[in-house]
Amino acid sequence: MQDTTSQLDAATANTAPDEVRRPALSPSRASDFKQCPLLYRFRAVDRLPEQPTKAQVRGILVHSVLEQLFALPTAERGPERARALLGPTWQRLSAEHADWLELFAGANDEPTATESWLASAEALIDGYFELEDPTRIEPEACELRVEAELASGMLLRGYIDRLDVAPTGEIRVVDYKSGAAPREIGEAKAMFQMKFYAVVLWRLRGEVPRQLRLMYLSDKQALAYAPDEAELRRFERTLEAIWDAILRAGKSGDFRPSPSKLCNYCDHKARCPAFGGVPPEYPGWPEPNPGDESALDRAD
């Protein structure tokens, strides 16, 4: 199988392929390290390929449809139009990432499997329309790549699903959650990610975002949170501590496994010493660009 992560990094980054980018921390990789340093190593340092799941690919599809929806004139952003975008968007994505079709191969009822999967994506789009009316929203940007340097010199980088800015200047960060991960596991991770974006925007624009809004499309529930400056200052210190720990581990190669119930979702269990496996030899710290996140990371 192709290295989906690297492939998508290249496919989605808004930078020239030969542009040298400084090492930066992304919310996905920071979460990985917090969850399990060895998982971070496998993803960010060894860059081992992972098999995408149907739920992840469906997340990319749904995020793409919502992005296209907001590019339409306001009056055209209805549910019918959004549903109509699903088929052509899937055709385009599956042509760009032929390996994703393997997810549906092998089943005797392959066309039916794809159809029912597309129907589940449609249900997420319908879930979105139960949460808000896109004709009443004019985002400043969708799928926005953001990068900010902290006073310590540490670089934060990530992608924001949607940024809404009120005429009065208040900022709202919106993230769509389309995944099948259990809500109790996903929520702390999602809030970590949102605070990460809040720090980036605060440092970029000098304004603390008024609201962080998580939209759970399958549950049809939204969660709103209002961060304050003192909290973001503390969170910034947390991020710096994580980055310091990553750099220390990177130097020594000492990335320890940290088993938890999340190991059930880990692609690397077979090579993990916590489960009797043997990791590949440490390849050394990758320069200049460890820790990027892929579209699959962002479409959770």
Binding site residues, ligand SF4, CB under 6 A: 36, 38-39, 257-259, 262-263, 266, 268-269, 272, 274-275
Residue 139 or 250 with smaller CB distance to ligand SF4: 250
Residue 129 or 265 with smaller CB distance to ligand SF4: 265
Residue 93 or 274 with smaller CB distance to ligand SF4: 274
Q: What is the residue type of 203?
A: R
| Structure-token pair, residue 298 | 């962002």
Output the smallest distance, CB 264 to ligand SF4, in A: 9
Output the smallest distance, CB 251 to ligand SF4, in A: 20
Q: Phi and psi (nearest 5°) for 165?
A: -125, 120
| Structure-token pair, residue 178 | 């389309």
Output the smallest distance, CB 45 to ligand SF4, in A: 12
Give the integer Cα–Cα distance in Å for 83 and 63: 13
Output the smallest distance, CB 241 to ligand SF4, in A: 20
Q: CA separation (Å) from 132 to 21, 186, 261?
A: 37, 22, 34
Residue 167 or 276 with smaller CB distance to ligand SF4: 276
Give the integer Cα–Cα distance in Å for 208 and 136: 23
Residue 63 or 268 with smaller CB distance to ligand SF4: 268
**Contacts (Cβ under 8 Å, ≥6 apart) of 275:** 259, 263, 269
Element (H, E) at 248: helix 229-252
Output the smallest distance, CB 257 to ligand SF4, in A: 4
55-76 burial code (b ≥16 CB/10 A, e <16) = bbbbbbbbbbbbbbbbeeeeee
Going by C-alpha positions, the residue among 229, 182, 224 that lies closest to residue 208 is 229
Output the smallest distance, CB 263 to ligand SF4, in A: 3
With beta carbons less than 8 A apart as the criterion, state whether 58 and 124 touch: yes
With beta carbons less than 8 A apart as the criterion, state whether 3 and 267 touch: no
Output the smallest distance, CB 190 to ligand SF4, in A: 18
Residue 168 or 252 with smaller CB distance to ligand SF4: 252
Paired strand residues for 144: 160
Residue 39 or 239 with smaller CB distance to ligand SF4: 39
